[in-house]
Every structure is written in C-alpha cells, then in structure tokens.
Amino acid sequence: MTSLNGTRSVALQINDLQVTYYTDAGRVKAVDGVSLTLQSGERLGLVGESGCGKSTLALALMQMIKPPGRIESGSAIIYTDDGAVDLLKLSEEEMRQTRLSKISYIPQGAMNSLNPVMRIGAQMLDAMQDHLPRASKRELIERAEHALESVELKRSVFQMYPHELSGGMKQRVCIAIGILLNPKVIIADEPTSALDVVVQRQVMETIRRVQEKINAAVILIGHDMGLMAQVTHRVAVMYAGKLVEVSNVREIFRHPLHPYAQALIRSLPRLKNKGVFHGIPGLAPSLLHLPSGCVFHPRCDRAMEICKIAAPPRSTTPDGRFVSCHLYDEQGNPTTPDQRGMQAHTSPR
C-alpha cells in the first residue's frame, strides 16, 4: 500500500455534481451529489459495481455527457498555474483546449480507441497540433517520442500501426497520449481491463511513475480492490450514483466504515481461505427505481429501521474520512441504538 506524504495543493475540487439521464422509462440520476477533493500528486481509486456512476462521473468532468444525459448542477474546479477554472462552465471550444492540456482522459477499453488505419505518431501529432500551433513539426515529434519513452516504449513505435502492438503496448500508447501536454489531472477508466495480470501490473506501474514525474493527480476507476490497494493513496466507494465512503487506502482496508465497503473487501480472495468466496447478496438497484432511505439497505447485513425510511447523513469523521451511513452521526461518530431509534421515530415517512 502507498501513503501520501507532505503538503499538497488542491488539483481538482468537485462540488455536489449531479448528472441525469432522461429516458423514455423515466429520469435516471447517474451521479447524485458527488463531492470530492483531489490533491496534486495524489492517486484516488474510484470503485463500485458496474452501473454505479463511475464512468459517468469521469465523462462529466470532461464535458462528454451526450443527450439524453445532462449535467444538472455542481462544479468541478481545476487549479492550474493559470488559476482556477470551473470545467463545467467552459464553452465547447474552451473545453476542447482544456482537454489534454489541463485534464486528460484514458477511456475504458483505451487500447481499442486508437485509429487502426493511422500510424501511432500521426495520432499523437493530431492530438497536439491544436494545443501547440506555434510548435514546429520537429518539436512535436520530439515531444511525442519522449512521451513514448516515458512509458517504456521505443521511439520506433511512433512509425507503427496499432495492429503491430500488443494489448499492453497499445495501452501504454494511450497513456503516452494522455500525458503529452503534462495535464494537472489524469482520469484512467479501467486502464487494465482485458489485460493479463502481469501486464496489468506493468501498466499500473507506468501510470504511477509517469504521474509522479509530472506531479499530476490521478483518478483511477476500476473494480479491482486488490489493485487499488497497491497503487492508490485514497479510495472512494460509489453505490447507485452516490459516494458512500472516502478513506485513506490503509484505513479502508484495515477498518472499512460503510457496510458496502466492508462487503467489497470481504469479497477479495484470500490465500488462507482458498476456494471460499464471499459475494454481496442481491443485485445493485435499478437507478430508475431506487429503494427509499439508504439505497444499500436491501443488501445490507446491518440495516436498521431508520435505513428504510431516511437517507443517511454525510459525515466526516474526526480523522478526516467521509462516510454516508446511519451507523455514524453527522460528526462521523458511531451512533448508539437509542440514537438510531430516535431518528427512525422522528424521520418523515
């Protein structure tokens, strides 16, 4: 596990972000009131089951939500040497200039995002030309080749086509494209999917090394809690569009607060319990028909009466961890059975 030491400046501040999809079946809140702070040089793991809103959150930060989706409210302020700017308030042209230069996105299945009929170098030059109009072609080529070397690829890859590369090499090319202009924030959406475990580790080590070199903040989206334990500083757990816990990586694996985070960690395979698997009972709810109260209560082994009728408070514990659960009060302290009973009695039904 990794720890984040020293004083860091804020790189990205997300405040009460809400993203909705308007479908024929009804309104879907894909991201519901998410707030997060990301520090320069920090690696934040964003985890949760499929459909919980992780990728939608990433796409919203890039202003890539398409109809019938809509960013309803909130802000996403990125801090650069040029000052602070709200990504969600930029015009289409301003956002186009901001992508890659200030915030970059490595999409899910990134290795398949490369144009199969263009050489790698041509795709890298195409990504840079609008951002560096005064740079000569030689300068752009040098920057691209340097980026390839920084992800441990040979300069000769510049002249190759995607089909000539292995899956791991294509993934590294996508990372190289993402760091071409030294962005302040990098979003990697499941960058190791469809790769074998050895290549997964190599790709994650590449992201870590490159990120530390340019002091970027990274949001790493994925399902693999074991991988998160190895490479991230903090872990944010999402469920049904909401954040339920944000904790230091050591703390969340030693003492997870939210029952859903506890269930995710219990589901990890362990050598001492070979062949024994602990899944999470039930299925994630449809975002069209969310349960009342706490959205996790139908699957929670610690659900109480209050969980069925009232949304849990958003709490920050005395040691700085975030949790949204009725097991904790608004100050983040564990609640007593008497307090829970009183809440259930006074909550509107």
Model confidence at 269: pLDDT above 70:
yes
Quote the mean pLDDT of the chain: 90
Shared domain for 196 and 79, answered yes or no, is yes
Q: Is residue 262 one of the residues assigned to a domain?
A: no
Q: Is residue 247 one of the residues assigned to a domain?
A: yes
Q: Is residue 261 one of the residues assigned to a domain?
A: no
Distance in angstroms (rounded) separating the CA atoms of residues 135 and 129: 8
Shared domain for 204 and 348, answered yes or no, is no
Q: Which residues contact 62 (CB under 8 A, 6 or more apart)?
A: 87, 95, 99, 103, 105, 187
Q: What is the pLDDT of residues 283-333, one digit of tens each?
A: 899 999 999 999 999 999 999 999 999 999 999 999 999 999 999 998 888
Q: Is residue 162 one of the residues assigned to a domain?
A: no
What average pLDDT score do residues 217-228 get? 90
Q: Is 306 helix (H, G, I), strand (E, B) or coil?
A: helix
Q: What whole-number percentage of the chain has pLDDT above 70?
A: 91
Shared domain for 193 and 298, answered yes or no, is no
Range of the domain at 43: 10-112+181-251
Shared domain for 195 and 298, answered yes or no, is no
Shared domain for 222 and 297, answered yes or no, is no
What average pLDDT score do residues 112-137 get? 93
Q: What whole-number percentage of the chain has pLDDT above 90?
A: 72
> Where does a domain end: 197, 222, 251?
251
Q: Which residue intervals of 119-258 are DSSP H helices? A: 120-129, 137-150, 167-178, 197-214, 225-231, 249-254
Q: Is residue 239 one of the residues assigned to a domain?
A: yes
Among 79, 83, 93, 174, smallest CA distance to 130 is for: 93
Q: Is residue 171 one of the residues assigned to a domain?
A: no
pLDDT at 342 (0 to 100) = 53
pLDDT at 281 (0 to 100) = 86
Shared domain for 296 and 232, answered yes or no, is no
Element (H, E) at 105: strand 103-106
Handedness of CA 198, 47, 185, 136 (dihedral sign): positive
Model confidence at 64: pLDDT above 90:
yes
Cα three-residue angle 302-248-337, rounded to 5 degrees? 25
> Where does a domain end: 189, 219, 251?
251
Lowest-confidence segment of 203-217, 227-241, 266-280 by average pLDDT: 266-280
pLDDT at 345 (0 to 100) = 47
Q: Which residue has the tokens 């958003």?
A: 314
Shared domain for 101 and 39, answered yes or no, is yes
CATH number for the domain that contains residue 17: 3.40.50.300
Shared domain for 23 and 87, answered yes or no, is yes
Q: Is residue 301 one of the residues assigned to a domain?
A: yes
pLDDT at 37 (0 to 100) = 96
- Quote the DSSP letter at residue 151: T
Shared domain for 236 and 296, answered yes or no, is no
Distance in angstroms (rounded) separating the CA atoms of residues 296 and 259: 9
Amino acid at 349: R
pTM: 0.90
Model confidence at 180: pLDDT above 60:
yes
Q: Is residue 153 one of the residues assigned to a domain?
A: no
Shared domain for 186 and 306, answered yes or no, is no
Model confidence at 349: pLDDT above 50:
no
Shared domain for 210 and 305, answered yes or no, is no
Q: How many domains does the chain have?
A: 2
Highest mean pLDDT: which range of 217-226, 240-249, 330-339: 240-249
Amino acid at 51: G
Handedness of CA 234, 42, 13, 317 (dihedral sign): positive
Shared domain for 338 and 247, answered yes or no, is no
> Where does a domain end: 228, 251, 274?
251
